Structures are given as C-alpha cells and as structure tokens.
C-alpha cells in the first residue's frame, strides 16, 4: 500500500518535457500558414468556417490571455487526457477552466463544474478521463446546438475545447460553424484523441493515447509469446482494439514480431484469411511447434468484403430482409457472432466491433479444417486486448504530447482560432523541437453515408499500404511465421532520464 501511494505521488510530480515554442506563451502567436484545401461539396454545410486557413505557432506578438475556457472529453478514454487539462490550466487563471461532465451530453445539459487548479494538477500524468468522465453523444438537432450556445454565452466562455476522435471532432466542426454564424465569441478548438490512431493527416502524425495503448498491448503480447515459447502447446489468437483501422495491430506487430498479424486494409476474403492461418498452424505443427501468436485487428471484420456488405445491409434493415446471398452468410455465422452483429450501433452509427468476437469466429472456422488435415495438436486460446490500454498511466510520449496540446489549445483560443484541430506535425522529432499547428477541421472532412444519409464526417485514416511502416512489416513478416522471432518489449519505464525513455511510436519512425 505504502509503495503504491509513493508510486502515484512520484508519477504525479514528474514534469513532462515541453517544446521550446510553448515555454514562453506571451512571446508566440498563431500566424496564418497558407490556405488549406477541402472538399467543395462541404461548403454548403460549413459556409462560415469554410474560408478559415491553417495557422502555425511562431515567435511574435500575442494578445492578452483568455480568462475562461470550457473543456470536455468525448468518446473512449485515451491515456494523457488529464495532461491536456493540466497544460490548459497552466495558462489559465484559477476558476478559468470549466469542465463539462460526461462528454457532449454534459455540454447539452449544462452539466459542468469549475475546476480547481490544485485538483487539476493532482491528476497530472494519470491515465483515464475520470476527472470529467466522457460519452459518445452526437449533436444532432438545432435545439441541442441552441442549448449549447446558451450555456457558452451564459458562462461567457472565450473558448470550448473538445478532446476527442473523428466523430467528436465532427461535433466540434458543427459547433464552430453554428457559433461563428451566430456571432458568438466562443471559439471551438479540437484536441486529437483516440487510441485507434485513425485521426491522421500530414500535420497530425498520430492522436494521443495510441502510444500508451500500443505499449500496454505490446507488453502483454510479448509476455504471451514468451509463455507460448515456454509451454509450447497453445496458439494464441489476440484481437486488438481499433474499431476501423489496423494501426494498433501494425504498431504491435512491429514491436513484438508475432507469427502472423492480419491487417484489415489488405481487404482479404474470409476464406483467404482462414486458409493462411490453417497453413501456418499446420506447418508449425509439422515442424514440432504446436504453438504460436496471431494478432487480429478489431476492425478486420468490416474490411472483409462479404462481411462489409452484410454489416452495411444490417445497418439499414433487419436480418429477415437481407438478400439471399447475405442471408446465407449471416446464417452461416455462429449464433454468438450473429447476436453481436445485431447489437445496437453507437450514436454515430458505428457497429460495436469491440463486442464482436472475431477471434472466436476464426478459431471456430479453423477447427474443422485442421481436423480434416490431421492437425490434432491445435489448441487455441482467445484474447481481447482493448480496454486494458485506454486508461493506463500515459507513456512519456503521451504525457509530453498532451501537456503540449493543452497549452496549444489555450493559445489557439487566445489567438481567436476556431473550427481547428491543434496538432504537432513533427512528433517523431525530439520534444524540444516540436512545432504547433491549428488545422481547419473542414480540411479533414468528407461526406459519408451514416444511418442511411450522406453526412459530413472526419475521414478515418486507414493503414497506408504504400507507407513505410506497412512496407517494413510486409518485408519482415514472412520470417516471423516459422522462426520464432518474438520481441518482448516489457513494461513502460516511467522513471530515469526522461529523454532516454521518450520514444515516439514505431509507425512514425520506421
């Protein structure tokens, strides 16, 4: 108990590194960084914010600091969130940080609390979003926007900072558009959060939370690999979180070198995937290795062309109304998977993929095939690593990244920026050299069908099959199949020289 308290206290006291550009806020200001492009079809949706340009933080004159900013967490937790609040509070007076509770719903219902300075600082370097809570409410009606505008006006907020992923930043874009159109002084600024890593652009290499989640999973995958190598009897099927894109799986694969890692973006059919797994398990069994480690991205199922069609159709109609081919596929799935696919979607219309046991579906399909091929040693173990990684103590990278984002968000509000996302384009460099940008949210948007209608949303960034990280993985993966080249990253290191342990994610540096 004593040891535990002293670890917590020490962790809270640790001061993350700060980029030079953010060390003297009164000597820097956001300056226009050229026009940014966006999809012309989006103009009618965002007439007021469409003309806004990107800005970057440079040395130069600044205006007086804002006195009051509202902030909220939105979507799933991601490590480092509390440091965004700490970074904001450092540049705001006592009583200047207003926390909306439970995400966007707290904003709509005016459920907020003035945060005390000492209270915010006591959450430094802790994981989770528990200081404010979070939620997945989507802003859908004019009445909700009116209620939010009323609260921001009554509280005389200079700014509203939305800490969230793609769906949450779509909310931020809608609010900034409405506020600007109404002449409301509250500026809306986004902070890029999601463990999934699918909020990316040229100026935003990765969102916060990704690094900590991957390090947490990679530690556990390494432990399992060592266990597999020791007991030599189980094939471990590990599903990793990441609702759509396979960034987490790619990062963990580079960090641990499993026997097989599936990448959803390769868009292979279910038959192809199962056949590759069967061949791998059979070959390893013949080589006297009836064990192995296989990584499966949570979003895999949505990339399998036939499943993608089925999921889209289930979003529009009930299973009884499915066309013959999809009905046949649906009925061929184990009952448990059928039920999971039919669960209510989240408020943004996404299937709750974290609830779909893809790893068990694949194991179920492999059993008869391997039996037929005479592989009697097949003994699978299914795992799902997801929630374990979202609220861990932030890595040195996420701790520093979030502190910088918090400061950047306050400076963006101060410099009258709205409808933009705070980013650090050169995250792969050392912290002292980090630059800060404000990227118009509209430049990240596209039109997508959600709940049967075309709507503007932030586009999800998928694994780039021509990118460096994927190419490296592709080059190496064949050797991981038969040779046991597992890596064991071990737990995150929090103490010692901060610089020594500060490493950006592998997908940024490979």
Residues found near ligand FBP in the complex (CB under 6 A): 75-76, 78, 165, 194-196, 241-243, 298, 353-354, 390
CB nearer to ligand FBP: pick between 120 and 391 = 391
CA angle 103–345–303, rounded 5-degree value:
110
Task: Output 73 or 480, the one with its CB closest to ligand FBP.
Answer: 73
* Nearer residue to ligand FBP within complex by CB, 82 or 243: 243
Task: Name the strand (E) or helix (H) holding 384.
Answer: strand 380-385
Query: Among 158, 196, 211, 415, which one carries the catalytic annotation?
Result: 196
For ligand FBP, give the closer residue by CB, 90 or 346: 346
Least Å distance, CB 162 to ligand FBP, is 12
State in angstroms the smallest separation of the CB of 355 from ligand FBP: 7
CB of 298 to ligand FBP, least distance (A): 6
Among candidate residues 208, 205, 212, the one with its CA nearest the CA of residue 194: 208
Complex with ligand FBP: residue 359 or 415, whichever CB lies closer: 359
Q: How far is the CB of 412 from ligand FBP (least distance, A)?
A: 21
Residue appearing with tokens 């103009």: 43
Distance CA 213, CA 30 (A): 31
Residue 100, beta-bridge partner list = 112
Q: Which of 16, 12, 477, 430 lies closest to 263 in space, CA to CA?
A: 477
Q: Which residues contact 311 (CB under 8 A, 6 or more apart)?
A: 301, 302, 341, 351
Least distance in angstroms from the C-beta of 442 to ligand FBP: 20
Spatial distance between the Cα atoms of 456 and 177, rounded to a whole number of angstroms: 13
Cβ proximity to ligand FBP, 75 vs 380, nearer residue: 75
Three-class SS of 232-269: CCCEEEEEECCCCCCHHHHHHHHHHCCCEECCHHHCCC
Q: Is 398 a catalytic residue?
A: no
Contacts of 337 (CB under 8 A, 6+ apart): 356, 357, 360, 361
- Complex with ligand FBP: residue 124 or 460, whichever CB lies closer: 460
**Which is nearer to ligand FBP, 343 or 465 (by Cβ)?**
343
Nearest distance from C-beta of residue 100 to ligand FBP, angstroms = 16
- For 500, residues 6+ apart whose C-beta sits below 8 A from its C-beta are none
d(CA 2, CA 331): 55
Residue 423: CB minimum distance to ligand FBP, A: 16
The set of residues, in sequence order, having a beta carbon less than 8 Å from that of 460 and lying 6+ positions away, is 166, 198, 199, 244, 245
For residues 176 and 49, the answer to whether their CB atoms sit within 8 Å is yes
Cα–Cα distance, 435 to 422 (Å, whole number): 11
Query: Least separation, in Å, of the C-beta of 422 and ligand FBP?
Result: 17
* CA 392/CA 78 separation, integer angstroms: 8
Beta-sheet strands, E only, within 88-232? 97-100, 112-114, 159-164, 187-192
- Give me the active site residues, please: 196
């Amino acid at each position: 108990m004593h040891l535990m308290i002293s670890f917590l206290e020490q962790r809270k006291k640790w001061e993350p590194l700060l980029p030079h550009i953010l060390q003297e806020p009164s000597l820097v200001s956001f300056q226009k960084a050229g026009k940014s492009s966006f999809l012309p079809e989006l103009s009618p949706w965002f007439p007021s914010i469409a003309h806004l340009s990107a800005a970057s933080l440079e040395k130069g004159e600044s205006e007086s600091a804002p006195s009051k900013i509202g902030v909220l967490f939105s979507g799933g937790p991601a490590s480092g969130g509390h440091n965004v609040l700490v970074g904001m509070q450092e540049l705001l007076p006592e009583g200047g940080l207003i926390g909306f509770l439970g995400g966007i719903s707290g904003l709509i219902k005016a459920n907020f609390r003035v945060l005390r300075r000492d209270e915010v600082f006591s959450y430094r370097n802790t994981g989770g979003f528990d200081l404010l809570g979070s939620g997945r409410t989507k802003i859908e009606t004019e009445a909700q926007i009116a209620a939010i505008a009323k609260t921001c006006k009554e509280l005389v907020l200079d700014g509203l900072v939305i800490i969230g992923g793609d769906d949450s930043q779509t909310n931020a874009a809608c609010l900034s558009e409405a506020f600007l159109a109404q002449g409301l002084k509250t500026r809306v600024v986004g902070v890029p959060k999601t463990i999934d890593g699918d909020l990316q652009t040229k100026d935003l290499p990765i969102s916060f939370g990704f690094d900590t989640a991957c390090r947490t999973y990679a530690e556990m995958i390494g432990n399992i690999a060592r266990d597999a190598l020791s007991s030599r009897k189980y094939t471990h099927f590990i599903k990793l979180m990441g609702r759509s894109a396979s960034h987490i799986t790619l990062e963990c694969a580079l960090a641990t070198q499993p026997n097989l890692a599936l990448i959803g973006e390769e868009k292979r059919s279910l038959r192809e995937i199962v056949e590759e797994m069967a061949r791998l398990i059979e070959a390893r069994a013949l080589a006297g290795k009836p064990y192995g480690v296989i990584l499966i991205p949570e979003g895999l199922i949505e990339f399998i062309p036939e499943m993608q069609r089925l999921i889209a159709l289930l979003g529009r109609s009930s299973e009884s109304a499915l066309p013959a081919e999809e009905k046949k596929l649906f009925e061929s799935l184990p009952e448990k998977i059928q039920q999971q696919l039919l669960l209510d979607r989240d408020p943004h219309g996404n299937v709750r993929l974290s609830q779909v046991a893809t790893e068990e579906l694949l194991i179920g399909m492999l059993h008869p095939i391997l039996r037929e091929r005479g592989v009697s040693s097949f003994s699978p173990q299914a795992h799902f690593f997801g929630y374990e990684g979202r609220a861990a103590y932030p890595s040195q990278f996420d701790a520093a990244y979030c502190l910088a984002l918090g400061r950047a968000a306050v400076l963006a509000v101060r410099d009258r920026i709205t409808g933009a996302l705070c980013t650090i384009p050169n995250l792969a460099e050392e912290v002292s050299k980090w630059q800060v940008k404000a990227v118009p949210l509209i430049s990240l948007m596209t039109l997508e069908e959600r709940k049967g209608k075309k709507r503007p949303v932030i586009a999800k960034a998928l694994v780039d099959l021509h990118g460096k990280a994927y190419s490296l993985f592709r080059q190496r993966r064949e050797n991981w199949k038969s040779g046991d080249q597992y890596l064991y990253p071990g737990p995150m290191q929090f103490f010692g020289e901060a610089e020594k342990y500060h490493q950006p994610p592998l997908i940024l540096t490979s």
